[in-house]
Structure 1
């Protein structure tokens, strides 16, 4: 049992070390600097403060805006009033369906 627990602890330590390296790389500091700043409480690393994330977010937002713009919505072109069409269709169905009851 103790060897299983020790091997599990070793795996968890390796995973933690990999995560620390990833966070330090994203923050642009060394692992030692990251650990020191977290222990001292002076520095906290958030994902939104890294340059890589900002660049990815910017390009993702540009792609999203391009997709929305290409859906055919144009501010210079008048849009059809679909609510009017739906209300006319409902009124016609109401009149057809209520012929024997309403009049």
Structure 2
């Protein structure tokens, strides 16, 4: 592995995980699987952005913005999980077919 650099490995990992996230979004039949796929896709973007920040020598403002983005994602996960619990209690299913029925 003499020819492979750390940058190539990080970008390869981000590319593979983003492709896995996109595939999961396109094929998910459950709302939970859809949420997990979206989070995998988002984490690959954060991985790429953080590595670009390390390589380019970004200032602390960049990292604080990145950290704020991660915190907001955690809040979004908590809110969506609460909504999923309420939907499951009401409909007894978490199929993506329910998305067209749920309005409000």
Give the TM-score normalised by the residue count of structure 2: 0.32
Greater relative contact order (CA < 8 Å, ≥ 6 in sequence): 2
Structure with the higher helix share, 1 or 2 = 2
Larger Rg belongs to: 1
TM-score of the pair, normalised by structure 1: 0.32
